[in-house]
Amino acid sequence: MNTVLLHTCCAPCSLSCIEPLRAEGIEPVAFWYNPNIHPWTEYKARRDCLLEFAPTIGLDIRVQEDYGLRSFVESVGQNIDNRCQYCYAVRLAETAKYAANHGFEAFTTTLLSSLYQDHEAITALGYKLAQQHGIQFYYRDFRSNFRAGNQKAKDDGFYIQKYCGCIFSEADRYDKKIQKDKIRFAPQEEPNG
């Protein structure tokens, strides 16, 4: 295998995957498809950082443009706590389909580098989609490179996101502040007089 389609959620996470793949003699081709990332300014910042970075290391990139706020919210709105499963499925299904339709033997994902994602669910889904599309899921546990990749991204001045990507994960990152504000601004009871 010479090339693999690498679903890429952002440039920092790609740093955890590209060098290990190249060390195995595999040239990754980045695939940007992330209709889960919101708001638009976040989506654009992540996409554009990847587009600026890729040429500096000779990384081929394919962009499937889809800012999917409405479809994402409609799909997860009734089950927000399980939104990640939908998020993995929609992105990896499109990656597997693209790989199969464009002559790739295999696909993988930068999601396998994250210490914060459900690694086992992503892996199981990857194998399932590979079987459905008649291609190989190229499994590698890239998590050991996660911190080094993030540090390199910081050193190189990459845009570093502060949350997973969806609007609900952004709200989660502010949860403690929101709870403190609820207490701070709670109406005070009037003393009985």
Q: Which of 41, 61, 42, 43 is nearest to 51 (CA)?
A: 61
Please give the pLDDT value at position 193.
Answer: 55
Please give the pLDDT value at position 163.
Answer: 83
Please give the pLDDT value at position 22.
Answer: 96
Beta strands in the chain (DSSP E): 3-7, 27-32, 61-63, 106-109, 136-137
pTM of the model: 0.89
Q: Which residues touch 87 (CB under 8 Å, ≥6 apart)?
A: 36, 72, 76, 165, 166
Q: What is the pLDDT of residues 1-40, one digit of tens each?
A: 689 999 999 999 999 999 999 999 999 999 999 999 999 9
Q: Which CATH class is domain 3-184?
A: alpha beta
> Which regions of the chain are under pLDDT 50?
none
In the chain, where the domains are located: 3-184
